[in-house]
Chains A and B, each alone.
Chain A
Amino acid sequence: AQKITQTQPGMFVQEKEAVTLDCTYDTSDQSYGLFWYKQPSSGEMIFLIYQGSYDEQNATEGRYSLNFQKARKSANLVISASQLGDSAMYFCAMSQISSGSARQLTFGSGTQLTVLP
């Protein structure tokens, strides 16, 4: 069974500093995708960044980068130059094709990030 583990329920970071949010995953599949989503208190899920299991280079999107270590099954999110607007819940998720060809995301329990002024 697929599983995503986020071990940091809450994190604090000073404005303008970098922060790393941890994510480990468990799967026996060779083909999968890893995603990070941001969920502000308003509830919307905002897509941040994607890493494919066959991608050799770490994904980057603006201030977001994904530190992908396949052998360790980890996909940590790095946010550089934190801003007050980055305060939100962050979810790591894994995408796989399940039986019946359904494509589903399995989410972790999330990390609540608070950026301090």
Chain B
Amino acid sequence: DAGVTQSPTHLIKTRGQHVTLRCSPISGHKSVSWYQQVLGQGPQFIFQYYEKEERGRGNFPDRFSARQFPNYSSELNVNALLLGDSALYLCASTPSPTVNSPLHFGNGTRLTVT
């Protein structure tokens, strides 16, 4: 079975530009979450979607937005990129957003902002 897939794997953008990252969850998983991992730190929660509705967002500015499509895939959008947005962006899926269900992560998209 295919795991969580993310695209692209690497991306280089310039300050002020916009970026869209894509994620396909494991088949049958209806919940998708996004995390940002800055070099040398643990991942930080950005968004969670379940059944196409936003369930919550972490402490990130409004430049970050996301959506989930009818097939449960998801996009993360970041506007007006800053140098500090350079990070590994991880997408994770789970069958349901219960506290005991492990998140299954993709390989991530490594974003570099110059």
Nearest opposing residue in chain B for A52, CB measure = B100
Q: Which of B33, B48, B92 has the most CB of A within 10 A?
A: B48
Assess whether B67 is interfacial by the CB under 8 Å rule: no
Contacts of B58 in A (CB 8 A): 104
Q: How far is the CA of A108 from the CA of B41 in the complex (A)?
A: 8
Contact count A vs B, C-beta below 8 Å: 80
Cα–Cα distance between A82 and B42 once the two chains are bound (Å): 23
In the complex, A43 Cα to B33 Cα: how many Å? 17
The reply to whether A100 and B55 contact each other, CB–CB distance below 8 Å, is yes
Residues of B within 8 A of A43 (CB): 88, 107-108, 110
Contacts of A31 in B (CB 8 A): 99
A99 at the interface (CB under 8 A from B): yes
Decide yes or no whether B104 CB sits under 8 A from chain A: yes
CB-defined contacts of A97 to chain B, threshold 8 Å: 97, 99
Number of interface residues of A (CB under 8 A): 32
**Complex interface residues of chain A between 80 and 104 (CB less than 8 A to chain B):** 91, 93, 95-104
Cα of A47 to Cα of B26 in the assembled complex, Å: 14
Q: Tell whether A68 is near chain B: CB-to-CB under 8 Å.
A: no
B64 at the interface (CB under 8 A from A): no
Chain A positions within 8 Å of B110 at CB level: 43
Interface string of A27-39 (1 = CB under 8 A from B): 0000111010100
B94 contacts across to A, CB distance below 8 A: 103
B105 with A44: CB separation less than 8 A: yes
- Across-interface contacts of A74 in B (CB, < 8 A): none
A107 CB–B CB distance under 8 Å: yes
Q: Are B42 and A104 in contact (CB under 8 A)?
A: no
- CB proximity to A under 8 Å, residues B22-66: 31, 33, 35, 41-45, 48, 55-58
CA distance A44 to B32 in the complex (A): 16
Residues of B contacting A104 with CB < 8 Å? 33, 45, 48, 56, 58
Which residues on A are within 8 Å of B, measured CB to CB?
4, 31-33, 35, 37, 42-47, 50, 52, 91, 93, 95-110
11 further contact pairs, Cβ within 8 A, besides A44-B107, A102-B57, A109-B42: A31-B99, A43-B88, A43-B108, A44-B108, A46-B105, A52-B99, A52-B100, A103-B48, A104-B56, A105-B33, A110-B41
